[in-house]
Amino acid sequence: MLQNTKTSFGLISRSLHWLMALLLTGLFAMGLYMTSLDYYDPLYHSLPWWHKSLGLLVFLFLLLRVIWRLSNPQPESLKTHKQWEKRLAHLIQKLFYGFIFFIALSGYFISTAKGKGIEFFNLFELSSIIALKEGTADLLGNAHEIMAILLATLVVLHALAALKHHFIDKDKTLIRMIK
């Protein structure tokens, strides 16, 4: 089924969840690797191009996901989930949305700081709306990196929680996000 029900995640929610998980992991690895390259490395120019296009794709998926989440029933937590687990899981999920939004937005402002737009896979260019002073762009760049590290930490906690449900509690938490 495409849509969520009160007890299950539909195909659209599951696909968006795993696609974004894959994209965000790739973007994080790419972001770390990019900063270690020197100017003469062949990837010095191409990797940032991919990072920006994929980053924009994540932003589009984020919008889709929020719209989908608001227009679909949210599956209820399993009866076996403890109250503190539910609270923590919901807090982390909200933080995910906030962090991804901020990381994408700061990425846009850093990339367009000098007045040049961002290319989206040779399909179109998103223009710059504001040129930034170098100091402001550097500050945003640091915030972008710190937020990405915090997001990665939350992802690890979130994944460990899912694995704990699967292997220790032996409940359906992970399975219902897969099938």
> Site map for ligand HEM, 34-73, x if CB under 6 A?
-----------------------------------x----
Stretch that binds ligand HEM, among 18-26, 36-44, 104-112, 132-140 (CB under 6 A): 18-26
Binders of ligand HEM in range 112-171 (CB under 6 A): 155, 158-159, 162-163
Nearer to ligand HEM, 63 or 159 (CB): 159
Handedness of CA 168, 171, 176, 177 (dihedral sign): negative
Residue 84 Cβ, how far from ligand HEM at the closest point, in Å? 14
- Of residues 119 and 171, the one with the C-beta less far from ligand HEM: 171
C-beta of residue 1 within 8 angstroms of C-beta of residue 11: yes
Q: Which stretch binds ligand HEM (CB under 6 A): 15-23, 33-41, 52-60, 140-148?
A: 15-23
Residue 127 makes CB contacts below 8 A (sequence gap 6+) with: 112, 117
Q: Is 173 in the site for ligand HEM (CB under 6 A)?
A: yes
Instruction: Identify which range of 13-21, 29-37, 55-63, 121-129 contacts ligand HEM by CB under 6 A.
Output: 13-21
Other CB atoms within 10 A of residue 100 CB: 21
Q: Which of 137/174 has CB closer to ligand HEM?
A: 174
Tell whether residue 20 is a contact of ligand HEM (CB under 6 A).
yes
Residues that bind ligand HEM (CB under 6 A): 13, 17, 20-21, 24, 69, 77, 89, 93, 96, 155, 158-159, 162-163, 173-174, 177
